[in-house]
């Protein structure tokens, strides 16, 4: 009742309980189907591109090693709220799963 009165709603506990039940029901329903390009919805080709991209930005023994440190920081910037698979897919989706174009986009964020 406190919640509903605090937000300007009704004080009726029956209405409050009904709203909470409805809210919980909506939380439990899986109404969202993620489109292709998200983890769990990748084609075999997209999956391989994700693996190749990850390998590329995690490489620390090639000529791009210094840039890769910054690239990883950029890609994993939201690591506290977004796991690695979603981060990588997000960047690759932005450039239609083109690794070269994705790296070029990320490199645009690196101050030179």
Q: Give residue 73's pLDDT.
A: 93
The Cα 75–Cα 73 span in angstroms is: 6
| Cβ-based burial of 83 (10 A; exposed 0-12, middle 13-18, buried ≥19) | exposed
Q: Give residue 1's pLDDT.
A: 39
- Residue 36 has phi, psi (to 5 degrees) of -60, 150
pLDDT tops 80 at residue 96: yes
**Residue whose entry in the numeric block shows the structure tokens 């937000």:** 7
How much is the average pLDDT of 4-26? 55
Q: Give residue 30's pLDDT.
A: 54
Q: Give residue 62's pLDDT.
A: 75
Share of the chain above pLDDT 90, in %: 40
- Residue 33 has phi, psi (to 5 degrees) of -110, 115
What are 36-74's pLDDT values in tens digits?
888 888 999 999 999 999 989 988 887 888 889 999 999
């Amino acid at each position: 009742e406190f919640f509903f009165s605090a937000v300007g709603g009704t004080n009726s506990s029956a209405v409050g309980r009904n709203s909470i039940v409805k809210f919980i029901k909506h939380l439990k329903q899986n109404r969202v189907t993620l489109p292709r390009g998200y983890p769990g919805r990748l084609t075999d080709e997209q999956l391989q591109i994700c693996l190749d991209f990850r390998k590329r930005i995690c490489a620390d023994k090639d000529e791009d090693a210094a840039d890769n440190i910054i690239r990883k920081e950029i890609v994993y910037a939201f690591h506290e709220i977004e796991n690695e698979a979603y981060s990588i897919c997000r960047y690759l989706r932005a450039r239609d799963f083109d690794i070269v174009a994705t790296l070029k986009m990320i490199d645009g964020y690196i101050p030179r």
